[in-house]
A and B are shown apart, each in its own frame.
Chain A
Amino acid sequence: MTSALDESDKEKTRSVSVDLNNDASLLIDIPDALCERDKVKFTVHTKTTLSAFQKPEFSVPRQHEDFIWLHDTLVETEDYAGLIIPPAPPKPDFESPREKMHKLGEGEATMTKEEYNKMKQELEAEYLAVFKKTVQVHEIFLQRLSSHAILSKDRNFQIFLEYDQDLSVRRKNAKEMFGGFFKNMVKTADEVIISGIKEVDDFFEQEKTFLLDYYSKIKDSTAKAEKMTRSHKNVADDYIHISATLNTLSADDSTALKKHLDKLSDLFEKLRKVEGRVASDQELKLTELLRYYMRDIQAAKDLLYRRARALADYEHSNKALDKARLKSKDVPQAEEHQQQCLQKFDKLSESGKRELTSFKGRRVVAFRKNLIEMAELEIKHAKNNVTLLQGCIDLLKSN
């Protein structure tokens, strides 16, 4: 299935992050994507005025694994150690709608044809929603990079955007070269290392405490929000069944109830559409928001980790220098090593401070925007529901 997302759609979907794609010198978007079995092929479209690129406008096909390669190479680049690397987009996950579709197939015999079709429609909409979400999340990743003063100039990033051949060969080489070493380290040991290091800087001390605690809380909130949204969807599905059975009852009925049942069936059909919208809006504005910033905070934690390692290295180099001075052996090398470590650490701290501050600002703005939008949508849907319900009540009473 392909999906061409038009402008207004994109406006709505590009919601969880802010301040993206504002610079006309490098505009990136994913105008369409193809879903084959489980593999999604994204079309990455770039418009640029920068001379670093060969053409002013071009498109390339990319797979999810290409995005991961790009993310990993950025993480492994020493020069970027002091930056928050935008989190990698999660793998496209069609498991949930697929499972539901399977269950629906099994239960087909128990429902009327109409009911089955409606359920199928709902599931197809869910598929589409997952699809749109994955496109959005991959798009935002690229736009975060293009909006970043330093990362946008990365050579691998440019290759990713421009290279019109299959990237998979390059990907394999990269894996062999780096072996994912740094990445694995980060994933397993960061919290221990970060908490263990004695902090010299108040700012970072605060950030460390805050980020560690906030991460676990936001992770929990994301999971709970997801459960809440799923319950909403279940309620909407029940409305489908109720509407279908009311329809059958109405058809069979020969009393004055016939038209009442018919109206009621109609009402539930409309209500379930609204309920479905409530669920999907909540998912987008709340669950996705929380999930996105959970990953972002992990990226920030990674930055703290790298700085902590740099500090550890510096402290080791200090000790090594002292030892060297004691033994009066290899002192110049030890001195130079110590200088390097100090420079690296300072650079990380300076850039880290900048990154973390702007990160907080971005986060607050994004939360504000999404919470407002969610509240407004909830109000809109509830008002819609009231109109539908009141209309039906009036019709029933008037007969």
Chain B
Amino acid sequence: MADTARDPPPEQTDFQELEDGEDLFPEPAAAPESGPASLPAEDVSTNSNGPKQDSLFDDDPEDLFAEATEEVSLDSPERDVLLSDGPSPAITPITPPTSVITPRIGHAHDDMFTHSSFDEIEEEEGGDSFDIHIAVSDPEKVGDGMNAYMAYKVTTKTSLSVFKQGEFSVKRRFSDFLGLHSKLASKYLHVGYIVPPAPEKSIVGMTKVKVGKEDQSSNEFVEKRRSALERYLMRTVKHPVLLKDPDVLQFLESSELPRAVSTQALSSAGLLRMVNKAADAVNKMTIKMNESDAWFEEKQQQFENLDIQLRKLHASVESLVCHRKELSVNTALFAKSAAMLGNSEDHTALSRALSQLAEVEEKIDQLHQDQANADFYLFSELLGDYVRLITAVKGVFDHRMKTWQKWQDSQMLLQKKREAEAKLQFTNKPDKLQQAKDEIKELEGKVQQGERDFEQISKTIRKEVSRFEKERVKDFKSVIIKYLESLVQTQQQLIKYWEAFLPEAKAIS
């Protein structure tokens, strides 16, 4: 695209121009790396293998089934709960059985995640005003060739008591972020929490970086990713429940993180994910839910509309970014041409004025380039994020439908069993009758649980949607204001440049 001879400006200065005063690359206080997390020796996440395997890497198409022994299914924790005998009344979002919830969270952790505790968490938030800032910075290429990857520094600054320090940083790579999301999704999505989606993979983009192309487009790719990762983390910690999740805390604080291998696109986990997604899509089409609650119907429709409009807006803004970049390139070309014209001009004063015009236009082309970046990083990425978030919201509504379906299925099964039992009454088979009675009792429990699950997820979704809407308003408002301010800056610079040129033009005689 750009054929200018300029070196791509270092990422920092671009940003400092756009976002006045905001310190995106804070110098962490010389805090030593946080010590090993006070977690039990067992690995917290099941979704990675015990031994780290450094020879594996992101997005490697060759690594098809290296992790054959991995346990993966997203459904398994759920099933554990439903089949358990104990009458646990509340849904516990499961951290997989081998892990232990750390005691440092400070609540009775058994009912940590019951809905009543959700209220407590919110109360605690009120007292401990939301003060946490995460920065993702210093992308660094580690390794060589196709084994290479980008390591990012994740710096957290906070005064929240749930963290051990006020300021600390760790090194993370992209698959770590994906791993975090994967864990959170498996724990919380099916009970109705809107888990912010992770940034998208890009095999093409990443390959360029690995191969060592130090050009503008791979720099842009890294910057785009860095910014997206930062927004992802900030959105995740803004969620009061996710903030306290041990996986999140470990991600932010722990200096060593086990490799999240199941996030590879073509691993067995990845394939299983794809199969699950397909199955979900089919199910969605076949579930006909009797919606007794108008709120849900209304909200679903609203989100559907919002999705369509946001995608449309996103496309228009992407077009704007593209055209503005074109404008920048064309202005630069014109500037060069005007400079040549000035040189050729034999009237001295006019020649000077034309050269000045060329200089002004060159400065303006840089302005357009910067504005295109603001168009992208502020406006376009905001919209892109929300398009993905809405998908997560829709997913949560779908889970509610699935929960309802499970409940209905249990009820129908119970009905059948009851009918069968009634028939057995008239036969002389006491063993079978007892078995039937036992099954019925079990199913009754299941049906009750199903109903409770359904009510719980409905309640959670209502809260989540309300929180989501509040966040959306704040988010949009603050980003839009920043974006408009970037536009103002551009215009003010334009005024400066042309006002400086005007006397030059007047000096022609």
Do the two shown chains form a genuine complex with each other?
yes
Binding site for B on A (CB under 8 A): 206, 210, 213-214, 217-218, 220-221, 224-225, 227-228, 230-232, 234-235, 238-239, 241-242, 245-246, 248-249, 252, 254-257, 260, 264, 267, 360, 363-364, 367-368, 371-372, 375-376, 378-379, 382-383, 385-386, 389-390, 392-393, 396-397
Q: Is B316 a contact partner of A238 (Cβ separation < 8 A)?
A: yes
8 Å CB contacts to A: which residues of B314-363? 316-317, 319-320, 323-324, 326-327, 330-331, 333-334, 337-338, 340-341, 344-347, 349-350, 353-354, 357
Residue B506 CB within 8 A of the other chain: yes
Partner of A379, one of B313, B476, B498: B498
Partner of A393, one of B302, B338, B472, B485: B485
Among residues of B, the one whose C-beta sits closest to the C-beta of A368 is B508
A132 to B2, CA, bound (A): 35
Q: Is B495 a contact partner of A383 (Cβ separation < 8 A)?
A: yes
- Min CB–CB distance A280 → chain B (angstroms): 15
Q: Is B477 a contact partner of A382 (Cβ separation < 8 A)?
A: no
Among residues of A, the one whose C-beta sits closest to the C-beta of B309 is A249
Partner of B327, one of A228, A242, A372: A228
Given the known inter-chain contacts A249-B313, A375-B505, A393-B488, please indicate yes or no for A257 contacting B350, CB distance below 8 A: no
Q: Is A372 a contact partner of B506 (Cβ separation < 8 A)?
A: yes
Q: Is B494 a contact partner of A378 (Cβ separation < 8 A)?
A: yes
Given the known inter-chain contacts A235-B324, A249-B313, please indicate yes or no for A217 contacting B480, CB distance below 8 A: no
Q: Is A255 a contact partner of B472 (Cβ separation < 8 A)?
A: yes
Across-interface contacts of B472 in A (CB, < 8 A): 255, 257
Q: Is B357 a contact partner of A382 (Cβ separation < 8 A)?
A: no
Among residues of B, the one whose C-beta sits closest to the C-beta of A252 is B305
Across-interface contacts of B484 in A (CB, < 8 A): 267, 389, 392-393, 396
Across-interface contacts of B177 in A (CB, < 8 A): none
Across-interface contacts of B509 in A (CB, < 8 A): 368
A370 to B302, CA, bound (A): 53
Across-interface contacts of A217 in B (CB, < 8 A): 337, 340-341, 344
Q: Is A364 a contact partner of B350 (Cβ separation < 8 A)?
A: yes
- Min CB–CB distance A380 → chain B (angstroms): 10
- Min CB–CB distance A174 → chain B (angstroms): 37
Given the known inter-chain contacts A228-B327, A375-B502, A393-B485, please indicate yes or no for A252 contacting B302, CB distance below 8 A: yes
Partner of B334, one of A228, A257, A260, A383: A228
Among residues of B, the one whose C-beta sits closest to the C-beta of A232 is B327
Across-interface contacts of A256 in B (CB, < 8 A): 473
- Min CB–CB distance A203 → chain B (angstroms): 12
Binding site for A on B (CB under 8 A): 302, 305-306, 309-310, 312-313, 316-317, 319-320, 323-324, 326-327, 330-331, 333-334, 337-338, 340-341, 344-347, 349-350, 353-354, 357, 469, 472-473, 476-477, 480-481, 484-485, 487-488, 491-492, 494-495, 498-499, 501-502, 505-506, 508-509
Among residues of A, the one whose C-beta sits closest to the C-beta of B360 is A375
Q: Is the interface of B mostly helix, strand, loop or mixed?
A: helix
Q: Is A371 a contact partner of B353 (Cβ separation < 8 A)?
A: yes
A213 to B480, CA, bound (A): 49
A225 to B354, CA, bound (A): 13
A386 to B495, CA, bound (A): 10
A255 to B306, CA, bound (A): 12
- Min CB–CB distance A285 → chain B (angstroms): 11
Q: Is B320 a contact partner of A224 (Cβ separation < 8 A)?
A: no
Given the known inter-chain contacts A220-B340, A235-B327, please indicate yes or no for A210 contacting B319, CB distance below 8 A: no
Partner of B330, one of A213, A228, A368, A396: A228
Among residues of A, the one whose C-beta sits closest to the C-beta of B365 is A228
Q: Is A242 a contact partner of B313 (Cβ separation < 8 A)?
A: yes
Q: Is A367 a contact partner of B350 (Cβ separation < 8 A)?
A: yes
- Min CB–CB distance A283 → chain B (angstroms): 13
